[in-house]
Amino acid sequence: MLNLMNELLVDIIGFLYEPWVPLLLVVAGVALTIATRFPQVRMLKESFRVVMEKPSTEGAMSSFGALMISTASRVGTGNIVGVSMAICTGGVGAVFWMWFIAIFGGASAFVESTLAQIYKRKNPDGSSYGGPSYYMETALKQRWLGVIFAIFVILTYALGYNALASYNLQSTFAGFRFYRAETTPAVFGIILGVLFLVCVMGGGKRLAKVTGIMVPVMGVIYILVAVIVVLLNIANVPAMFAAIFEDAFNFKAIFGGFSGSCLMYGIKRGLYSNEAGMGSAPNAAATADVSHPVKQGLVQMLSVFLDTLLVCTATAFMCLSSGVAPTAELAGAPYVQEALRSTLGNIGPVFIAVSMSLFAFTTLIGNYYYCEGCLRFILKRQPSKAFMTGFRIVAAVIVFVGAVASMGLVWNLADLTQGLMVVVNIPVILILAKPAVAALKDYQKQRNEGKNPAFRAAEIGLKEETEFWK
């Protein structure tokens, strides 16, 4: 039964990704980069400035808090296992295509998160919520599409991504002596499921507090270790860069087997890691209390860079500079662990196991955060306490199931569900890009005048009713 299900998933994924998902991501990334005039470069400094701004309302969600929630989802097990899978199965050139999709995807992330801020809704206490489903309903006037997208988000984050994060974590310990294939995955699944349930019962603000502490700490430590490893293997770095670019531009090999090429795996695993254009981060972006939507658009653009250009690159460089050759048999955590073992000795695999534990946990709770807002949109009201308790228990059970499932099944589930989000959200943000571009021009005008930008919808000729920005 499971084998049949996996075969069906492979067929659907083949249709989605050959060529629609890569084509949509690349076209949207390039088009929106041109339309917004390369904010990834010219406004990078500004994005670092606004991320530290405090909210105007006491106790409201800050830009940094919203960034940490979305980064908790982005900076996850995909940064370790996902990068390894891309290199071992697609080739070292996948690293270049991960960079490519992140750089141009930054513009997609900017537009979708700016739109989420423009069309966000107001809670009775004055705080905000929103996301792609809401701009599909308000700006496109297509609530049905918003409902479909909300369902895809729940399937991706509660099912696809969380099952995969759970599997990736337990598989990291497969090389340790205590690991028993018959029982250890279930033990890890139970522990993760219980910890996950305890955390999500605390609600969104506890998530922001937990991730706000864990994400920066684990990211800094991980990058520092990566720098040390690369410096210890500095003699291998020139050959590493040569291999990356040579493989990335071997178009004969790419188009000879597109589905298994470095380009395909770079895009797939890059998307799994940075989520730019998927429509996930806007759900967190909409909760931030900012004076201008563009501020949060810049912050979410920064999150994409932090994820791929820093953390994913750290993993790639650690592995490729080590001299350990990537093979299909080592795909996943074993390749990263073996690479660090060759440089740091037996402490290397232990470090990766600890890193994976932190990455996986923040991924699980960051992923779940997106689901609550989508349930609210589908039901047109705040779900009851009993309903949410039941949903959280089901989500915890999925975490357990992911730990004991097969590698092929969990990766295919993640690829399918993230692909479904892309084919809905990317066309929508291309259609709705005009208000985001107009908001960016308004922001720059006010900054040039020496003001702290404050947004008013009427200033950019926005006709749709907004609950904020009047």
More confident residue, 382 or 271: 382
φ/ψ bin of 173: left (φ > 0), alpha (ψ from -120 to 50), beta (otherwise): alpha
Q: 0.75 cut: is pTM over it?
A: yes
Contact between 302 and 67 under an 8 Å Cβ cutoff? The reply is yes
207, two tokens: 């998530």
Q: Where are the alpha helices (DSSP H) in 233-332?
A: 237-248, 251-256, 262-274, 281-285, 293-305, 313-321
- Looking at the predicted structure, is the pLDDT value of residue 19 above 90? no
Share above pLDDT 90 across residues of the chain, in percent, rounded to a whole number: 41
- Looking at the predicted structure, is the pLDDT value of residue 73 above 60? no
pLDDT digits (tens, 9 = 90+) for 249-294: 877 555 545 455 677 777 777 776 677 888 988 988 898 888 999 9
In this prediction, residues 20-47 reach a mean pLDDT of 91
User: What local confidence, expressed as pLDDT, does residue 422 receive?
Assistant: 93
318 Cβ contact list (under 8 Å, min separation 6)? 225, 226, 229, 230, 336, 339, 340, 343
Give domain limits for the chain. Answer: 2-444
In this prediction, residues 161-174 reach a mean pLDDT of 90
- Among 107-116, 371-380, 426-435, name the one with the lowest average pLDDT: 371-380
Report the CATH number of the 2-444 domain. Answer: 1.20.1740.10
Q: CA torsion 255→261→263→265, rounded to 10°?
A: 150
Local confidence band at 341 (pLDDT 50, 70, 90 cut-offs): very high
More confident residue, 311 or 32: 32
Helix or strand (DSSP H, E) at 129: strand 128-129
* Mean pLDDT score across all residues of the chain: 86
Local confidence band at 439 (pLDDT 50, 70, 90 cut-offs): very high
Local confidence band at 15 (pLDDT 50, 70, 90 cut-offs): confident
In this prediction, residues 163-185 reach a mean pLDDT of 90
Contact between 117 and 290 under an 8 Å Cβ cutoff? The reply is yes
pLDDT digits (tens, 9 = 90+) for 196-231: 888 888 755 555 566 556 667 777 888 899 999 999
Q: CA torsion 312→318→323→326, rounded to 10°?
A: -30
- Looking at the predicted structure, is the pLDDT value of residue 359 above 60? yes
- Among 74-78, 93-97, 226-230, 448-452, name the one with the lowest average pLDDT: 74-78
User: What local confidence, expressed as pLDDT, does residue 67 receive?
Assistant: 67
- Which of 303, 231, 329 shows the shortest CA–CA distance to 48? 303
Contact between 296 and 61 under an 8 Å Cβ cutoff? The reply is no
In this prediction, residues 181-208 reach a mean pLDDT of 82
- Looking at the predicted structure, is the pLDDT value of residue 301 above 80? yes
- Looking at the predicted structure, is the pLDDT value of residue 149 above 90? yes
- Among 55-69, 176-190, 335-349, name the one with the lowest average pLDDT: 55-69
